[in-house]
Amino acid sequence: MEYEPIIGLETHVQLKTQSKMWCGCANQYGAEPNTQVCPVCLGMPGVLPVPNEEALRLTALTGYLLHCELPGHVEFDRKNYFYPDVAKNYQLTQLAHPSTLGGYVDFEMKGEPMRVRITRAHLEEDVGKSFHFDRQSGVDFNRGGVPLLEIVSEPDITSADMAHAYLNALKDILVYGKISDCDMEKGMVRCDVNISVRPKGSSTLGAKVEIKNMNSFSGVRRALQYEIPRQLEAIRNGETIHQETRRWDDVAGITESMRTKEDAHDYRYFPCPDLVPFEPSKEWFEQVQQGVVELPLDRKKRFMDQYQLPDGDAEVFVNDVALGDYFEETAQRGGNPKALANWVINNLRANLVETQTHLKDVSFAPEHLVELTELVESGKISSKIAQTVFSEMFQTGQSPSTIVEEKGLIQVSDSSAIEQFCDQAIEANPGPAEDYRQGKDAALNFLKGQVMKLSRGKANPSLVGEMLHQKLRP
């Protein structure tokens, strides 16, 4: 019997707010342990939480970006459990009435369109972080109370690679929308993996195994690449898969059992008595909706359709938003979009990295890049000379026409002048000339290079090739 894996992901994302979810403590990474805490986020007796409206706004905005339904009635619940990183022994979260319901993420995988449905994206608070030393352990509560968005997918994922592609697409959407910086090194994104296997074609889910607290997308992929075969082998050996929670050992490359998986009733959820329901107005939703941005996949498709860019170029501009914006600003001034994309990707980006210059500090105007492409396409300068012009333009901010005129870089297209250069190259290189006469086409490129040297790069390359061919193979 054939089996198939069924995977759902719970992605936990720290929201990009200045303060924590229920108090005024800073939401800032890297402070000394337990210096960004107060009686509220430490759960001291007698304190009351005050919701962070920016966190509520970012959650609703996420709902719009993920095509979710946004209910007009939101409630917070207490999820009760004892862990050392939760000072008050419960977590404020959303169960019965979350901020968003439904939705989906569209993305590409190996050039094919994919869709993963979203069950819900609900708002809660993060917990502290435990540290374990040789002879003792400690807890840093700075992270406790930070606004945390939990995005729960439907079990639509069928492979480790698909999980990896979905997570990257989700991250890109959240970064585009300025929901979160999604810096995994700072723990801003973590993931729980739910996986089961079932007979292929069956609609019934198998026993769910959860892999907790994955802190990298590559780790999620590797864990699934181990866990899927583990479960399949167990079934083939007649073993029963039990619902449980496992941990991923990144060094050993294996999952290990931690505990029997809890069900919802084990947490004794109940509505938080300290927080009234949140029922935003129509005007509030309309204001949030103004923050909706073009999604990465939509941007890629538009760049390919509107500017006729190939997939690779469009992908570059999706991954580097600022560079893509610069390209679009330039392309709107005219010129050949593909040629402009080549200059932006291959030349401008390289110079920015090499000189450690920020894009906003580029000295030349976007229309100068359009002018440069037009000088090449009109034959006034060669592609090789254009490289020199671009470097000068990047350093000085001068227009291409000014640089070409001042340095005398106009391309030589006069047939008599080019013929003299060709005759000199043939006379100085009789061996390659004879090779080309004998049918060795590669020799022509060598001779063209010699002509370009003699003309100091000014000769029209296409005319040079034609004339050399006429002289050697009449």
pLDDT tens-digit profile of 407-424?
Answer: 777 766 657 777 788 888
Q: Which helix H or strand E contains 118, and what residues bound it?
A: strand 112-125
How many CA atoms does the CB half-sphere of 266 hold within 13 Å?
Answer: 6
Start-end of CATH 1.10.10.410 domains in the chain: 415-472
Question: Across the chain, what does the average pLDDT equal?
Answer: 92
Using only C-alpha atoms, what is the Rg of the chain? 31
Is the pLDDT score of 311 beyond 80? yes
Instruction: Quickly state the pLDDT bin for 84 (edges 50, 70, 90).
Output: confident
- Confidence at residue 462, expressed as pLDDT on a 0 to 100 scale: 75
CA 395, 400, 405, 411 dihedral sign is positive
Three-class SS state of 223:
helix
* Alpha carbon distance 11, 150 (integer Å): 6
* Alpha carbon distance 37, 47 (integer Å): 13
Question: Does residue 246 contact residue 257 with C-beta atoms inside 8 Å?
Answer: yes
* Alpha carbon distance 362, 348 (integer Å): 9
Instruction: Quickly state the pLDDT bin for 264 (edges 50, 70, 90).
Output: low
Look up the CATH number of domain 415-472.
Answer: 1.10.10.410
Mean pLDDT of 192-221: 91
Question: Does residue 303 contact residue 294 with C-beta atoms inside 8 Å?
Answer: no
Question: Does residue 307 contact residue 337 with C-beta atoms inside 8 Å?
Answer: yes
- Confidence at residue 356, expressed as pLDDT on a 0 to 100 scale: 93
Instruction: Report DSSP state, residue 135.
Output: S
* Alpha carbon distance 224, 205 (integer Å): 17
Instruction: Report DSSP state, residue 14.
Output: E
Which of 270, 242, 190, 199 lies closest to 4 in space, CA to CA? 199
Which of 334, 399, 335, 327 lies closest to 363 in space, CA to CA? 399
- Confidence at residue 458, expressed as pLDDT on a 0 to 100 scale: 76
* Start-end of H helices in 196-242: 217-236
Is the pLDDT score of 127 beyond 70? yes
- Confidence at residue 423, expressed as pLDDT on a 0 to 100 scale: 87
Give the tokens for residue 5. 């894996």
Three-class SS state of 149:
strand
Instruction: Calculate what percentage of the chain has a pLDDT beyond 70.
Output: 98
Is the pLDDT score of 425 beyond 90? no
Q: Which of 49-53, 168-172, 263-267, 363-367 has the lowest mean pLDDT?
A: 263-267
- Confidence at residue 382, expressed as pLDDT on a 0 to 100 scale: 81
| Residue at token pair 């962070």 | 52
* Residues 13-35: tens digit of each pLDDT: 999 999 999 999 999 999 999 99
* Alpha carbon distance 158, 407 (integer Å): 61
- 311-318 CB contacts, 8 Å cutoff, 24+ apart: 311/111, 313/338, 313/341, 313/342, 313/345, 316/345, 317/341, 318/172
Instruction: Report DSSP state, residue 185.
Output: G
Is the pLDDT score of 265 beyond 90? no
Give the tokens for residue 76. 């917070």
The letter for the amino acid at 272 is C
Instruction: Report DSSP state, residue 69.
Output: B
